[in-house]
Structures are given as C-alpha cells and as structure tokens.
Amino acid sequence: MRKTSIAVLLACSLVNAMALAQTQKESAPLAPNVKVGGPAPDFTLMDQNGQSHSLHDYRGKKNVALAFYLWAFSPT
C-alpha cells in the first residue's frame, strides 16, 4: 500500500515537472528580432467591438502605427 502511494506521488510530481517545463518553453520569445528595416510579423486579432484586424489588410493601402501598451487603464 505504502509503496503504491509513493509510486503515485512520484508519478504526479513527474507530470507536474513536465507541465512546468512546457509552460516555461511556451513563455520563451518566438522571434525577439523585430527591427527597423525588417518585416513586421503578420497577425489577426480582435478589437474592442469584436471585429478582426489583420496586418495584411493594410498592405499596399496604409501605413500602420502598431502601438503596444501594457494594460488598459494604465496611466499615460
């Protein structure tokens, strides 16, 4: 009985460790190299009214000022 519980505990911690490793891998930057003169990665994201916007929608039509901000309601 005791041996079984130890085995179960070990299995659980292994699964946890694997999950943790996965999370850390996901949080690593994919391409931290968007630079002046280089291409801007395409994206499709939803706005505050539920409408989708893609960077490629503006190709050949308009410049895009893509302004990243930290949080809504953050000062400035």
- Residues at the interface with another protein (CB under 8 A): 27-43, 45-51, 53, 55-56, 58-73, 76
Instruction: Please check whether residue 41 is in contact with residue 32, taking contact to mean a CB–CB distance below 8 angstroms.
Output: no
Report the run of H or E that residue 5 belongs to, with start and end.
Answer: helix 2-27
Q: Which CB, 1 or 45, lies closer to another protein?
A: 45
Tokens of 53: 């916007």
Q: Which CB, 18 or 58, lies closer to another protein?
A: 58
Q: Which CB, 3 or 35, lies closer to another protein?
A: 35
Q: Smallest distance, Å, CB 60 to another protein?
A: 5
Q: What three-state secondary structure class fits 32? A: coil
